[in-house]
Amino acid sequence: MIAINLLPSEYRKSEATPIARFLSIVIGAVVVTTALVIYGYVHYSQLRGVQDLREATEQTYTNKKMEADVSLALQAEINAYELRRKAITDVARGRILHSKKLDEFLSVIWNGDDRTAYYIWLNNLSIKPARDARKGAATTGGSLSFSGFSDTINFSRVTNLRDALKGKKAFYDDFKGISRPVFKAHQWDDGLEPSTAGKFQFDLTFKPLSEDKTKKGK
């Protein structure tokens, strides 16, 4: 039998939503809501925490890098100073201190004011530096030359001085040799004392620095 509802639409009884459609709507709403909740949790909770951790890590890395750069710069400066110190030390070890040589030389000349072996006075003293024949190779380490007078014309007094210079190891070790004395008796007639003296001259030759270094390194 066919039933026809002739009532106007506003008076008609509303039809119920099919159960399948209703369930699909409810499930869809639950899924969307759950997704929104998960998104909000991840975005505003977990992701924010990860971002904070990343920012903190980047800041720590930046600070550590700055500290490392400062440390490397200080180490480079230390290395530069060490190289400079080593160069200065090498130069100091590889050169002859003429002031020290002069002090040692004059101590021999003075001889504690003991006049029994020799007694002299100087009228000339000169020191010549090393000469280079070619770059990096010195033909001589220089020389120390002096001349003066002995209190007598006795030649042995001058040879005593030569022996004293050679016998002072700290002084003579830096020399290759000493010349034989150039000696000449000298007289004055001015009425002053002494009226006679022995005029002499000595030349001492320094060892080349390269030779001195080689012997020290053995």
Determine the Cα–Cα distance for residues 133 and 142; give it in Å rounded to an integer. 12
Radius of gyration of the chain (CA): 52
pLDDT given at position 210: 60
Determine the Cα–Cα distance for residues 100 and 47; give it in Å rounded to an integer. 77
Determine the Cα–Cα distance for residues 25 and 57; give it in Å rounded to an integer. 46
For 163-180, write each residue's pLDDT tens digit: 999 999 989 998 999 999
> What type of residue is 125?
L
Joined together, the tokens standing for residue 143 give 């020389």
pLDDT given at position 214: 47
Determine the Cα–Cα distance for residues 162 and 123; give it in Å rounded to an integer. 17
Per-position b or e across 185-197, b if 16+ CB within 10 A of its CB: eeeeeeeeeeeeb
Joined together, the tokens standing for residue 123 give 């009228």
pLDDT given at position 90: 63
More confident residue, 121 or 131: 121
Q: Using pLDDT thresholds of 50, 70 and 90, give the confidence band for residue 124.
A: very high
pLDDT given at position 193: 80
Is the pLDDT confidence value at 123 over 90? Answer: yes
Is the pLDDT confidence value at 22 over 90? Answer: no
Give mean pLDDT, residues 108-113: 90
**Annotated domain spans of the chain:** 20-93, 98-217
The fraction of the chain above a pLDDT of 90, given in percent, is 29
Residue with tokens 């800041």: 59
Q: Using pLDDT thresholds of 50, 70 and 90, give the confidence band for residue 218.
A: very low
Is the pLDDT confidence value at 9 over 50? Answer: yes
For 26-66, write each residue's pLDDT tens digit: 788 888 888 877 777 666 666 667 777 788 888 888 888 89
pLDDT given at position 187: 87
Residue 117's contacts (CB-CB under 8 Å, 6 or more residues apart) are: 111, 157, 160, 161, 164
For 62-101, write each residue's pLDDT tens digit: 888 898 898 989 999 899 888 888 777 665 555 567 788 8
Highest mean pLDDT among 13-27, 84-98, 107-121: 107-121
pTM above threshold 0.85: no
pLDDT given at position 217: 45
Give mean pLDDT, residues 139-156: 88
> CATH: 3.10.450, 3.30.420, 3.30.70, 3.40.50. Which one for 98-217?
3.30.70
